[in-house]
Protein backbone atom coordinates (compact mmCIF):
# COMPACT_ATOMS: atom_id res chain seq x y z
CA UNK A 1 0.00 0.00 0.00
CA UNK A 2 1.08 3.60 -0.57
CA UNK A 3 0.63 6.44 1.85
CA UNK A 4 0.65 10.09 0.86
CA UNK A 5 3.73 12.09 1.65
CA UNK A 6 1.56 14.46 3.69
CA UNK A 7 -1.10 12.76 5.77
CA UNK A 8 -4.29 14.72 5.41
CA UNK A 9 -6.25 13.33 8.29
CA UNK A 10 -3.77 11.93 10.75
CA UNK A 11 -2.23 13.72 13.69
CA UNK A 12 1.06 15.57 13.71
CA UNK A 13 3.16 18.69 14.08
CA UNK A 14 2.08 21.89 12.40
CA UNK A 15 5.72 22.72 11.75
CA UNK A 16 5.89 19.88 9.25
CA UNK A 17 3.21 21.17 6.91
CA UNK A 18 -0.25 22.62 6.81
CA UNK A 19 -1.85 19.20 6.44
CA UNK A 20 -0.28 17.79 9.60
CA UNK A 21 -1.61 18.37 13.11
CA UNK A 22 -0.53 21.31 15.19
CA UNK A 23 1.53 21.41 18.37
CA UNK A 24 -0.12 24.15 20.40
CA UNK A 25 2.01 26.95 21.82
CA UNK A 26 5.26 25.23 20.87
CA UNK A 27 7.48 28.19 21.75
CA UNK A 28 5.90 28.68 25.15
CA UNK A 29 6.10 24.97 25.84
CA UNK A 30 9.79 24.94 25.07
CA UNK A 31 10.39 27.80 27.47
CA UNK A 32 8.60 25.79 30.14
CA UNK A 33 10.93 22.80 29.74
CA UNK A 34 13.66 24.10 32.02
CA UNK A 35 17.22 23.62 30.80
CA UNK A 36 16.12 21.14 28.18
CA UNK A 37 17.81 21.14 24.79
CA UNK A 38 15.24 20.33 22.10
CA UNK A 39 16.30 18.60 18.91
CA UNK A 40 14.20 17.60 15.90
CA UNK A 41 14.59 15.28 12.96
CA UNK A 42 12.36 14.81 9.94
CA UNK A 43 12.65 12.04 7.38
CA UNK A 44 10.74 10.17 4.71
CA UNK A 45 9.66 6.72 5.80
CA UNK A 46 6.78 4.34 5.17
CA UNK A 47 5.84 6.55 2.22
CA UNK A 48 5.19 9.68 4.27
CA UNK A 49 6.88 12.43 6.30
CA UNK A 50 7.96 11.33 9.77
CA UNK A 51 9.18 13.52 12.61
CA UNK A 52 11.04 12.98 15.86
CA UNK A 53 11.38 15.62 18.56
CA UNK A 54 13.30 15.04 21.78
CA UNK A 55 14.63 16.98 24.76
CA UNK A 56 17.65 16.31 26.92
CA UNK A 57 19.89 18.39 29.16
CA UNK A 58 22.79 17.49 26.85
CA UNK A 59 22.22 18.46 23.22
CA UNK A 60 24.80 15.91 22.06
CA UNK A 61 22.95 13.09 23.77
CA UNK A 62 19.70 14.31 22.25
CA UNK A 63 21.28 14.16 18.78
CA UNK A 64 22.68 10.69 19.42
CA UNK A 65 19.25 9.51 20.55
CA UNK A 66 17.73 10.88 17.35
CA UNK A 67 20.36 9.09 15.27
CA UNK A 68 19.47 5.82 16.99
CA UNK A 69 15.75 6.48 16.50
CA UNK A 70 16.26 6.97 12.76
CA UNK A 71 18.17 3.68 12.62
CA UNK A 72 15.24 1.99 14.35
CA UNK A 73 12.79 3.35 11.76
CA UNK A 74 15.04 2.10 8.95
CA UNK A 75 15.28 -1.30 10.61
CA UNK A 76 11.48 -1.60 10.69
CA UNK A 77 11.32 -0.56 7.04
CA UNK A 78 13.92 -3.20 6.16
CA UNK A 79 11.68 -5.81 7.75
CA UNK A 80 8.14 -4.62 7.03
CA UNK A 81 7.99 -2.13 4.17
CA UNK A 82 6.31 -2.90 0.85
CA UNK A 83 8.14 0.12 -0.61
CA UNK A 84 11.45 -1.76 -0.40
CA UNK A 85 11.70 -4.67 -2.86
CA UNK A 86 14.40 -6.32 -0.73
CA UNK A 87 12.56 -6.03 2.61
CA UNK A 88 11.78 -9.22 4.48
CA UNK A 89 8.07 -8.65 3.84
CA UNK A 90 8.59 -8.17 0.10
CA UNK A 91 10.60 -11.39 0.00
CA UNK A 92 7.82 -13.21 1.84
CA UNK A 93 5.26 -12.03 -0.69
CA UNK A 94 7.53 -12.97 -3.58
CA UNK A 95 8.64 -16.39 -2.33
CA UNK A 96 5.65 -17.44 -0.24
CA UNK A 97 7.86 -18.31 2.72
CA UNK A 98 10.36 -16.51 4.94
CA UNK A 99 12.62 -18.65 7.07
CA UNK A 100 14.22 -17.49 10.31
CA UNK A 101 12.30 -14.19 10.47
CA UNK A 102 13.77 -11.40 12.57
CA UNK A 103 12.30 -11.50 16.10
CA UNK A 104 10.70 -8.06 15.56
CA UNK A 105 8.98 -9.26 12.40
CA UNK A 106 7.77 -12.40 14.14
CA UNK A 107 6.48 -10.27 17.02
CA UNK A 108 4.46 -8.07 14.66
CA UNK A 109 2.96 -11.06 12.88
CA UNK A 110 2.15 -12.70 16.20
CA UNK A 111 0.43 -9.53 17.42
CA UNK A 112 -1.46 -9.16 14.14
CA UNK A 113 -2.71 -12.73 14.27
CA UNK A 114 -3.88 -12.26 17.83
CA UNK A 115 -5.83 -9.12 16.92
CA UNK A 116 -7.31 -10.93 13.91
CA UNK A 117 -8.48 -13.77 16.12
CA UNK A 118 -9.99 -11.50 18.77
CA UNK A 119 -11.69 -9.26 16.17
CA UNK A 120 -13.07 -12.19 14.16
CA UNK A 121 -10.98 -11.17 11.19
CA UNK A 122 -11.90 -7.47 11.09
CA UNK A 123 -8.14 -6.85 11.10
CA UNK A 124 -6.34 -9.00 8.56
CA UNK A 125 -2.84 -8.42 7.19
CA UNK A 126 -3.59 -10.66 4.18
CA UNK A 127 -5.80 -8.02 2.48
CA UNK A 128 -2.96 -7.06 0.11
CA UNK A 129 -4.61 -8.85 -2.90
CA UNK A 130 -7.58 -6.48 -2.53
CA UNK A 131 -5.27 -3.48 -2.60
CA UNK A 132 -3.57 -4.87 -5.70
CA UNK A 133 -6.80 -5.36 -7.65
CA UNK A 134 -8.12 -1.88 -6.80
CA UNK A 135 -4.80 -0.23 -7.60
CA UNK A 136 -4.58 -2.03 -10.94
CA UNK A 137 -8.09 -0.88 -11.85
CA UNK A 138 -7.26 2.68 -10.79
CA UNK A 139 -4.34 2.73 -13.22
CA UNK A 140 -6.88 1.92 -15.94
CA UNK A 141 -9.14 4.73 -14.74
CA UNK A 142 -11.88 2.47 -13.43
CA UNK A 143 -12.91 0.26 -10.52
CA UNK A 144 -12.43 -3.50 -10.45
CA UNK A 145 -15.27 -5.76 -11.49
CA UNK A 146 -17.19 -7.69 -8.87
CA UNK A 147 -15.62 -10.86 -10.25
CA UNK A 148 -12.11 -9.44 -9.84
CA UNK A 149 -12.85 -8.39 -6.25
CA UNK A 150 -14.27 -11.83 -5.49
CA UNK A 151 -11.18 -13.50 -6.90
CA UNK A 152 -8.90 -11.29 -4.80
CA UNK A 153 -11.10 -11.83 -1.76
CA UNK A 154 -10.65 -15.60 -2.14
CA UNK A 155 -6.92 -15.14 -1.45
CA UNK A 156 -7.58 -13.24 1.81
CA UNK A 157 -7.65 -15.07 5.12
CA UNK A 158 -5.52 -14.67 8.22
CA UNK A 159 -6.06 -18.29 9.25
CA UNK A 160 -4.08 -19.42 6.19
CA UNK A 161 -1.06 -17.42 7.30
CA UNK A 162 1.36 -19.69 9.15
CA UNK A 163 3.52 -17.89 11.72
CA UNK A 164 6.28 -19.35 13.87
CA UNK A 165 9.73 -18.26 15.05
CA UNK A 166 11.19 -20.62 12.46
CA UNK A 167 9.24 -19.43 9.42
CA UNK A 168 6.35 -17.39 8.12
CA UNK A 169 4.46 -19.00 5.26
CA UNK A 170 1.63 -17.93 2.96
CA UNK A 171 -0.69 -20.91 3.05
CA UNK A 172 -2.77 -20.33 -0.08
CA UNK A 173 -2.04 -19.50 -3.75
CA UNK A 174 -2.31 -15.79 -4.49
CA UNK A 175 -1.88 -14.70 -0.87
CA UNK A 176 0.09 -11.56 -0.06
CA UNK A 177 0.60 -9.59 3.13
CA UNK A 178 0.70 -5.91 4.03
CA UNK A 179 1.84 -4.68 7.42
CA UNK A 180 0.94 -1.06 6.66
CA UNK A 181 -1.85 -1.30 9.20
CA UNK A 182 0.45 -2.07 12.12
CA UNK A 183 4.14 -1.52 11.23
CA UNK A 184 4.14 2.23 11.73
CA UNK A 185 2.66 1.86 15.19
CA UNK A 186 5.20 -0.84 15.99
CA UNK A 187 8.00 1.45 14.84
CA UNK A 188 6.74 4.17 17.19
CA UNK A 189 6.79 1.71 20.09
CA UNK A 190 10.36 0.64 19.29
CA UNK A 191 11.53 4.24 18.97
CA UNK A 192 9.94 5.18 22.27
CA UNK A 193 11.59 2.25 24.06
CA UNK A 194 14.95 3.15 22.55
CA UNK A 195 14.68 6.80 23.53
CA UNK A 196 13.81 5.89 27.10
CA UNK A 197 16.84 3.59 27.24
CA UNK A 198 19.01 6.54 26.19
CA UNK A 199 17.73 8.77 28.97
CA UNK A 200 15.17 10.75 26.95
CA UNK A 201 12.24 11.75 29.12
CA UNK A 202 10.44 14.18 26.79
CA UNK A 203 9.71 13.34 23.17
CA UNK A 204 7.07 13.42 20.46
CA UNK A 205 7.35 10.55 18.01
CA UNK A 206 5.63 10.54 14.63
CA UNK A 207 6.15 7.42 12.55
CA UNK A 208 2.88 7.98 10.72
CA UNK A 209 1.21 7.19 14.05
CA UNK A 210 1.93 8.93 17.33
CA UNK A 211 3.39 8.34 20.76
CA UNK A 212 5.09 10.61 23.28
CA UNK A 213 7.19 10.80 26.40
CA UNK A 214 6.81 13.38 29.13
CA UNK A 215 5.56 16.84 28.22
CA UNK A 216 6.53 19.76 26.00
CA UNK A 217 6.44 22.02 29.07
CA UNK A 218 6.15 21.73 32.81
CA UNK A 219 2.37 22.15 32.93
CA UNK A 220 1.28 21.22 29.40
CA UNK A 221 0.43 17.92 27.74
CA UNK A 222 1.32 17.13 24.16
CA UNK A 223 -1.62 18.56 22.22
CA UNK A 224 -2.51 17.25 18.77
CA UNK A 225 -4.87 18.79 16.26
CA UNK A 226 -7.51 16.60 14.64
CA UNK A 227 -7.59 17.42 10.94
CA UNK A 228 -10.93 17.85 9.21
CA UNK A 229 -12.05 14.71 7.38
CA UNK A 230 -12.08 16.54 4.03
CA UNK A 231 -10.23 19.86 4.43
CA UNK A 232 -6.61 19.11 5.29
CA UNK A 233 -5.85 22.62 6.48
CA UNK A 234 -8.87 22.81 8.81
CA UNK A 235 -9.06 21.38 12.30
CA UNK A 236 -12.05 19.66 13.86
CA UNK A 237 -10.64 19.73 17.36
CA UNK A 238 -7.74 19.10 19.72
CA UNK A 239 -6.68 15.93 21.46
CA UNK A 240 -4.51 15.99 24.59
CA UNK A 241 -2.18 13.02 24.83
CA UNK A 242 -2.36 11.30 28.21
CA UNK A 243 0.53 8.83 28.06
CA UNK A 244 -1.13 6.56 25.54
CA UNK A 245 -0.32 6.26 21.86
CA UNK A 246 -2.57 7.59 19.12
CA UNK A 247 -3.25 6.27 15.62
CA UNK A 248 -5.60 7.42 12.88
CA UNK A 249 -6.98 5.80 9.74
CA UNK A 250 -8.91 7.85 7.20
CA UNK A 251 -10.70 7.29 3.92
CA UNK A 252 -8.78 10.11 2.22
CA UNK A 253 -5.25 8.82 2.74
CA UNK A 254 -5.55 6.77 -0.46
CA UNK A 255 -8.81 6.74 -2.41
CA UNK A 256 -9.94 4.75 -5.40
CA UNK A 257 -13.08 6.80 -6.10
CA UNK A 258 -13.83 10.52 -5.86
CA UNK A 259 -16.71 9.94 -3.44
CA UNK A 260 -14.38 8.18 -0.95
CA UNK A 261 -16.56 5.10 -1.10
CA UNK A 262 -13.57 3.01 -2.16
CA UNK A 263 -10.31 3.51 -0.30
CA UNK A 264 -7.35 1.69 1.20
CA UNK A 265 -9.17 0.28 4.23
CA UNK A 266 -10.91 -2.98 3.37
CA UNK A 267 -13.47 -5.16 5.05
CA UNK A 268 -11.79 -8.56 4.70
CA UNK A 269 -15.17 -10.26 4.73
CA UNK A 270 -16.63 -8.36 1.75
CA UNK A 271 -13.59 -7.20 -0.21
CA UNK A 272 -14.85 -3.62 -0.22
CA UNK A 273 -14.29 -0.58 1.99
CA UNK A 274 -16.61 -0.08 4.98
CA UNK A 275 -19.22 2.51 4.08
CA UNK A 276 -20.16 4.40 7.25
CA UNK A 277 -17.07 6.12 8.61
CA UNK A 278 -14.58 8.60 7.22
CA UNK A 279 -11.97 8.58 9.98
CA UNK A 280 -11.11 6.66 13.14
CA UNK A 281 -8.63 7.63 15.85
CA UNK A 282 -7.68 5.20 18.62
CA UNK A 283 -5.75 5.88 21.83
CA UNK A 284 -4.21 2.72 23.29
CA UNK A 285 -1.37 1.63 25.58
CA UNK A 286 0.80 0.65 22.60
CA UNK A 287 0.98 2.33 19.23
CA UNK A 288 0.97 -0.97 17.35
CA UNK A 289 -2.32 -1.87 19.02
CA UNK A 290 -3.79 1.57 18.34
CA UNK A 291 -2.72 1.30 14.69
CA UNK A 292 -4.35 -2.09 14.17
CA UNK A 293 -7.52 -1.23 16.06
CA UNK A 294 -8.28 1.72 13.79
CA UNK A 295 -9.12 -0.86 11.10
CA UNK A 296 -11.20 -2.93 13.50
CA UNK A 297 -13.19 0.15 14.53
CA UNK A 298 -13.49 1.35 10.92
CA UNK A 299 -15.12 -1.92 9.93
CA UNK A 300 -17.34 -1.92 13.01
CA UNK A 301 -19.08 1.40 12.35
CA UNK A 302 -19.93 4.12 14.84
CA UNK A 303 -22.06 2.42 17.46
CA UNK A 304 -20.13 -0.82 17.52
CA UNK A 305 -16.79 1.02 17.57
CA UNK A 306 -17.79 2.86 20.74
CA UNK A 307 -18.80 -0.47 22.31
CA UNK A 308 -15.60 -2.17 21.16
CA UNK A 309 -13.54 0.61 22.70
CA UNK A 310 -14.82 -0.46 26.11
CA UNK A 311 -14.21 -4.12 25.31
CA UNK A 312 -10.61 -3.49 24.22
CA UNK A 313 -10.05 -0.94 27.03
CA UNK A 314 -9.04 1.79 24.61
CA UNK A 315 -10.61 5.05 23.52
CA UNK A 316 -11.86 5.97 20.08
CA UNK A 317 -12.97 8.99 18.07
CA UNK A 318 -15.03 8.24 14.96
CA UNK A 319 -16.03 10.60 12.14
CA UNK A 320 -18.80 9.75 9.69
CA UNK A 321 -18.94 10.67 6.00
CA UNK A 322 -20.81 13.91 6.80
CA UNK A 323 -18.11 15.04 9.22
CA UNK A 324 -20.07 14.43 12.43
CA UNK A 325 -17.96 12.88 15.16
CA UNK A 326 -18.27 11.03 18.44
CA UNK A 327 -15.63 10.20 21.04
CA UNK A 328 -15.57 7.73 23.90
CA UNK A 329 -15.51 9.38 27.29
CA UNK A 330 -11.86 8.66 28.06
CA UNK A 331 -10.52 11.01 25.37
CA UNK A 332 -9.66 14.61 26.22
CA UNK A 333 -11.05 16.21 23.07
CA UNK A 334 -11.84 19.88 22.58
CA UNK A 335 -13.78 21.07 19.55
CA UNK A 336 -12.03 23.62 17.35
Residue 74 shares a structural domain with residue 102: no
Residues 165, 250 share a domain: no
The residue among 170, 196, 228 that closes a domain is 170
Same domain, 23 and 153: no
- 150 and 22 in a common domain: no
Question: Is residue 297 assigned to a domain?
Answer: yes
Q: Are residues 229 and 305 in the same domain?
A: yes
Domain end, chosen from 117, 136, 170, is at: 170
Establish if 135 belongs to a structural domain.
yes
Question: Which pLDDT value is given to residue 335?
Answer: 81
Q: Of the residues 138, 170, 202, which one is the last residue of a structural domain?
A: 170
Which of these, 116, 51, 113, 106, lies nearest to 79 by C-alpha position?
106
- Alpha carbon separation from 119 to 136, 155, 196, 296 (Å, rounded): 29, 19, 32, 7
Q: Are 317 and 280 in contact (CB under 8 A)?
A: yes
What pLDDT does 16 receive? 27
**242 and 299 co-located in one domain:** yes
292 and 186, same structural domain?
Answer: yes
Residue of 333, 268, 239 lying closest to 125 (CA atoms): 268
The CATH code of the domain that includes 221 is 3.10.520.10
Domain count, the chain: 2
Instruction: Please indicate, yes or no, whether residues 221 and 162 belong to a single structural domain of this protein.
Output: no
Strand partners, 223: 240
**CB within 8 Å of 146: residues ≥ 6 apart:** none
Tell me if 155 sits within 8 A of 172, measured CB to CB: yes
Sequential pLDDT tens for the chain (336 residues): 333 222 222 333 322 222 233 333 444 444 444 478 999 999 999 989 999 999 999 999 999 999 999 999 999 999 999 999 999 999 999 999 999 999 999 999 999 999 999 999 999 999 999 999 999 999 999 999 999 999 999 999 999 999 999 999 999 999 999 999 999 999 999 999 999 999 999 999 999 999 999 999 877 889 998 887 777 678 888 899 999 999 999 998 888 998 889 999 999 999 999 999 999 999 999 999 999 999 999 999 999 999 999 999 999 999 999 999 999 999 988 887
- Do 49 and 194 share a structural domain? yes
The residues, any chain, with a CB within 8 Å of residue 133's CB and separated by 6 or more, are 144, 148, 149, 151, 152
Q: Is there a single domain that holds both residue 200 and residue 119?
A: no
294 belongs to a structural domain: yes
Residue 157 lies in a domain: yes
Helix (H, G, I), strand (E, B) or coil at 333: strand
Query: How many CA atoms, within 13 angstroms, populate the side-chain half-sphere of residue 129?
Result: 22
- Regarding whether 311 and 236 lie in a shared domain, the answer is yes
Flag whether 331 is in a domain. Answer: yes
Contact by Cβ (8 Å): 188, 10: no
In what side-by-side order are the strands of the sheet with 167-170? 97-99, 167-170, 161-163
Domain enclosing residue 37, as ranges: 14-81+182-257+277-335
Residue 21 is classified by DSSP as -
What backbone torsions phi and psi does residue 189 show, to the nearest 5 degrees? -65, -45
DSSP string, 197-218: HTT--EEEEESSSEEEES-SBT
Give residue 66's pLDDT.
98
Cα–Cα distances in Å, from 233 out to 17, 225, 229, 246, 335? 9, 11, 10, 20, 15
Q: Say if residue 163 is in the same domain as residue 285.
A: no
Amino acid sequence: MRRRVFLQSSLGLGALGASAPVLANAAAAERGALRMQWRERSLIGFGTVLSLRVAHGDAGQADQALDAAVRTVRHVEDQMSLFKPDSALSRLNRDGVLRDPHPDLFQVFQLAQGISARSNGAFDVTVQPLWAVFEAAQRRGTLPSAAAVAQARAAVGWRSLQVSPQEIRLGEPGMAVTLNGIAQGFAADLVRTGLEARGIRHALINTGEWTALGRPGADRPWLLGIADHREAQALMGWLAMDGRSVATSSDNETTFSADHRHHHIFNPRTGYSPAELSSVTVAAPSCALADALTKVMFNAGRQEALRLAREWRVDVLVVDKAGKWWASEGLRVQRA
